[in-house]
Amino acid sequence: MNNLPNPKEFNNMIKSLPSANDCRNKVSKTYDLEKIHNTFKKDIKKVDKKILHKKGNELVDYGFYITTPHPVGAKDLFGWSSKDQSETIHLVDKKGKVKTVAIRKSGEIKWKTFGSKKYCPYEINDEYVFLFSGMAEIVIMKMLGLSYVMLQSDGMVRHLPYELKSITSNKVIVILQDNDDSFKNIIPEIVDFFDSSEVIRIDFEEILGKDLKKGYDFRDFCNAVKDAKEVIALIENQIILKQEEVYARRS
């Protein structure tokens, strides 16, 4: 017992240790996001066009791409990681600040992210707003010219910008549901968040009338259909059906 430190000395020692907040504040960034952004943007200009076309076709089917109303609408999103020999997606806010840079494939890692994973970009110009989870889908949205809200991943639903509540008030939120439990589990949170909007859930198994693989998403749907006009028509029909169901329940 005599070997134990004096309680007063022990308390003084504890007080002198840095707090958890101090440690968090002193952690320095291990990379420069702006530099990464600029490097990837510079490097994509050096890549052979055939390689870019091949990579682009792997991401979004060429047949779908050429039928979109704005095929070059997503051009500014792309960069290139020379180290990974992979395309990159760059998310920049409305003030021009780089928020997120994601490498599509870095070794075994898909969508290796630098910057903020919490950042939820959105673009709202009409009454129907499409909500989705995933980096590839924002490319498709830009090509289609649709209004959207993007989650970088399912768990980021808790970081939806609060201003979206008022911006989307009385609009229709169309959830493009991934075919997995992870996404299905966040749907109640999405519905609660957009409490001043009508919320419609698009299930691709219902549209196609068959069981789909786990994780099947909007990008898979577009690449399978291979025609942007048909994709829009199928989704529009589903929206009409869903709204008719809602109106029938209310009457």
List C-alpha distances in Å: 105 to 86, 164, 209. Answer: 6, 31, 32
What's the CA angle centered on 104, arms 210 and 187, to 5 degrees?
45
133, part of any domain = yes
Q: What is the pLDDT of residue 5?
A: 47
User: Which three-class secondary structure string do you get for the chain?
Assistant: CCCCCCHHHHHHHHHHCCCHHHHHHHCCCCCCHHHHHHHHHHHHHHCCHHHHHHHHHHHCCHHHHCCCCCCCCCHHHEEEECCCCEEEEEEECCCCCEEEEEEEEECCEEEEEEECCCCCCEECCCCEEEEEECCHHHHHHHHHCCEEEEECCHHHHHHCCCCHHHHCCCCEEEEECCCCHHHHCCHHHHHHHCCCCEEEEECHHHHHCCCCCCCCCHHHHHHHHCCHHHHHHHHHHHHHHHHHHHHHHHC
**Mean pLDDT of the 6-18 span:** 47
24, part of any domain = no
153, part of any domain = yes
| Other residues' Cβ atoms within 10 Å of the Cβ of residue 83 | 11
Q: Are 56 and 65 in contact (CB under 8 A)?
A: yes
Round to whole Å and give the CA distance between 235 and 221: 11
Quick check: 133 pLDDT over 70? yes
Nearest to 119 by CA among 147, 106, 138, 105: 138
Q: How confident is the model at residue 149 (pLDDT cuts 50, 70, 90)?
A: very high
Domain count, the chain: 1
The whole domain housing 77 covers 31-250
Q: How confident is the model at residue 178 (pLDDT cuts 50, 70, 90)?
A: very high
20, part of any domain = no
Can you read off the two tokens belonging to residue 75?
A: 């051009």
Quick check: 45 pLDDT over 80? yes
60, part of any domain = yes
Biggest alpha carbon distance in the chain? Answer: 83
Question: Phi/psi at 236 (nearest 5 deg)?
Answer: -60, -45
**Mean pLDDT of the 30-49 span:** 97
Residue appearing with tokens 């299930």: 203
57, part of any domain = yes
Round to whole Å and give the CA distance between 89 and 102: 5
Quick check: 26 pLDDT over 70? no
Round to whole Å and give the CA distance between 124 and 130: 9
What pLDDT digit, counting tens, does each position of 73-84 carry? 999 999 999 999
184, part of any domain = yes
| Other residues' Cβ atoms within 10 Å of the Cβ of residue 106 | 17
What's the CA angle centered on 248, arms 245 and 250, to 5 degrees?
115
Q: What is the pLDDT of residue 1?
A: 43
**Mean pLDDT of the 77-101 span:** 97
Round to whole Å and give the CA distance between 19 and 25: 10
Q: How confident is the model at residue 140 (pLDDT cuts 50, 70, 90)?
A: very high
Q: How confident is the model at residue 148 (pLDDT cuts 50, 70, 90)?
A: very high
